[in-house]
Chains A and B, each alone.
Chain A
Amino acid sequence: MHPDPTPEPPPVPTVVVRNLSKSFPGVKALSEIDFDVNAGEVHCLIGENGAGKSTLVKILAGVYAPDAGEIDLNGTAAAFGSPLEAQDAGIACIFQEMNVVDGLSAAENIVLGDEPSRFGLFDKKRACSAARALLDEIGFLELDETRLCKSLSPAEKQAVMIAKALRQNAQIIIMDEPTSPLEEVEVRKLFDVVSRLKSSGKGIVYVSHKMREIDELGDRITVFKDGAKVATLSRGQASSEDLVRLMVGRQLDEMFPPKDRAPGEKILSVTGLTGPAISHVSFELRRGEILGVAGLVGSGRTELLRSIFGADPVWQGDVVVDGRRLQQNSISAAITAGIALVPEERRSQGIVPILSVLENASLVWDQFPQHRSNSKTQSDAVRDTTRLLNVKTPSLGQRIDKLSGGNQQKVVLSKWLLARTNVMLLDEPTRGIDVGAKREIYQIIDALAKEGLAVMLVSSEMPELLGLADRIVVMNSGAIVGELPGTATEEEIIALSMLHAASDADGRADQQ
Chain B
Amino acid sequence: MEKTVKSERQTPVRFFAKLRAGHGIQTMATLIVLLLMCSLFAALSDRFLTISNFQNVMRNAAPLIIASCGMTAVMIARGLDLSVGSVLAAASVLAAFLAVAGVPLYGAFAVGILFGAAVGLVNGVIIATLSVSPIIVTLGMLNIARGIAYLITPSAILVGLPRDWSGLGTSKLVGLPLPIIIAALVALAFHVFLAFSKMGKRIYAIGGNEEAARLSGINVTRTLMVLYVLCGATAALAGIVLASRVGAGDPNVGIGFELQVIAAVIIGGTSLSGGEGRIVGTIIGALIISVLGNGLNLAGVEPFWQWVAQGIVLIAAIIVDRQVQDGVNRARR
Contacts and interface: CB of A to CB of B under 8 A. Distances in A.
A395 B213 contact: no
Contacts, number: 106
Contacts of B196: 373-374
Given A353-B208, A354-B275, A399 B21 contact: yes
A65 to B, nearest CB: 12
B216 A363 contact: yes
A348 B209 contact: yes
B216 A364 contact: yes
Nearest to A310: B217
Contacts of B332: 401-402
A352 B198 contact: no
Interface string A326-359: 0000011001000001010000111111110001
B332 to A, nearest CB: 6
Counting contact residues on chain B (CB < 8 A from A), the size range is 35 or more
- Interface-centre pick from B14, B17, B333 (highest chain A CB count, 10 A): B333
A432 B131 CA distance: 31
Contacts of A393: 4-5
Interface in A378-433: 379, 383, 386-387, 390-399, 401-402, 415
A350 B157 CA distance: 53
B131 to A, nearest CB: 15
A54 interface: yes
Contact of A350 (B200, B204, B212, B219): B212
B4 A352 contact: no
Given A373-B201, A392-B4, A352 B212 contact: yes
Contact of A390 (B1, B13, B205): B1
Contacts of B217: 331-332, 335, 364, 367
B5 A415 contact: no
Contact of A54 (B201, B216, B333): B333
Contacts of A119: none
B3 to A, nearest CB: 8
B308 interface: no
Given A364-B216, A379-B8, A355 B17 contact: no
A363 B4 contact: no
Contact of B7 (A25, A332, A348, A394): A394
A78 to B, nearest CB: 22
B322 interface: no
A383 B209 contact: no
Contact of B198 (A24, A341, A366): A366
B130 interface: no
B202 interface: yes
A311 interface: yes
Contacts of B172: none
A355 B218 contact: no
B107 to A, nearest CB: 35
A390 B4 CA distance: 7
B276 interface: yes
A392 B196 CA distance: 27
Given A352-B209, A401-B332, A363 B218 contact: yes
Contact of A349 (B3, B5, B215): B215
Contacts of A363: 201, 205, 212-213, 216, 218
A142 B275 CA distance: 44
Contact of A311 (B6, B198, B208, B215): B215
A227 B95 CA distance: 67
B265 to A, nearest CB: 17
B205 A359 contact: yes
A394 B16 CA distance: 13
A341 B215 contact: yes
A393 B8 CA distance: 11
A311 B201 CA distance: 21
Contacts of A415: 216
B326 interface: no
B133 interface: no
Interface string B36-75: 0000000000000000000000000000000000000000
Interface of B: 1, 3-8, 13-14, 17-18, 21, 196-198, 200-202, 204-205, 208-209, 211-219, 275-276, 331-333
14 contacts: A311-B215, A332-B217, A352-B209, A355-B204, A363-B213, A364-B216, A367-B198, A367-B217, A373-B197, A386-B4, A390-B4, A397-B8, A402-B332, A415-B216
Interface of A: 24-25, 54-55, 58, 309, 311, 331-332, 335, 341, 343, 348-355, 359, 362-364, 366-367, 373-374, 379, 383, 386-387, 390-399, 401-402, 415
Given A348-B209, A373-B198, 11 more contacts: A55-B333, A348-B211, A349-B209, A352-B213, A355-B275, A363-B205, A386-B5, A390-B1, A392-B3, A393-B4, A401-B332
